Amino acid sequence: MARRTFFSFHHDEDNWRAWNVRNSWVVRSQDQIDRGFFDSSVFEATKNESATALKNFLRNGLENTSVTCVLTGELTWQRRWVRYEIVRSVLKGNGLLTVDIYGVENRRGMVGSKGADPLAQVGLYKVPGGIFFAEWKGGKWVKYDDYTLAVPAGDLWFNAPTSDTVVQISSHYVRYDFTKQNGRQNIGDWIETAAGLAGR
């Protein structure tokens, strides 16, 4: 079965690092396909149209994927659209994983600093009205604004929350370090592990 992977990352800050990670994956088997590497000008143009247009753009990018790999630098956890890609990935049942890329050199030959896990900035909680997404914002958990519908418990591959205490998405997924854990050699296996956890 074809393994289609969507790569989520901070386009402004980590584009160079993300492309280096992608290029290290060109030795993958032919049935592995990457998504999410948009031309920057297309991404920026869509972002400038409207939030609705960008949401549609990102949802289309996630179509026919089974895994979402969040390539994480120092500031990725703060990015609104990375959070949206995470939420949409949970909704469609994708496997998810975080791969830290701060140790990969940027175009100036500099490495970055480790940032927070983006999957830990998004969570789920249950109230009488259903299960909803939350995000860590302004030092506290708040209801997620970019997707406000209730989430059917049966649509989640992991155990649904049972209280109003937010359960971080990161508690169900694995975080790796591309540099320290030889991602050039191992990222394909990490992606397969994420797919397996989600039953994809």
Does the residue 153 lie in any domain?
A: no
Report yes or no on 74 lying in a domain: yes
List Cα–Cα distances, 167 to 106, 131, 159, in angstroms: 34, 11, 10
Domain that holds residue 79: 3-115+170-197
Does residue 138 lie in a domain region? no
Is residue 50 in a domain? Answer: yes
Q: Which of 54, 53, 62, 75 is nearest to 9 (CA)?
A: 75
What pLDDT was estimated at residue 92? 94
Sequence length of the chain is 200
Q: Which candidate, 65, 105, 107, places its Cα nearest to that of 88?
A: 65
Count of domains for the chain? 1
Residue 35 forms part of a structural domain:
yes
130 is a domain residue: no
CA distance 167 to 169: 6
Asked whether residue 96 is domain-assigned, the answer is: yes
- Residue 133 φ/ψ, nearest 5 degrees: -85, 145
Q: pLDDT of the chain along its 200 residues, tens only?
A: 456 888 888 877 888 898 888 777 654 555 455 544 444 444 555 666 788 888 888 888 888 888 999 999 999 999 999 999 999 999 999 999 999 999 998 888 889 999 999 999 999 999 999 999 999 999 999 999 999 999 999 999 999 999 999 999 999 999 999 999 999 889 888 988 999 999 98
In-domain check, residue 127: no
Question: Phi and psi (nearest 5°) for 162?
Answer: -120, 5
Residue 181's CATH number: 3.40.50.450
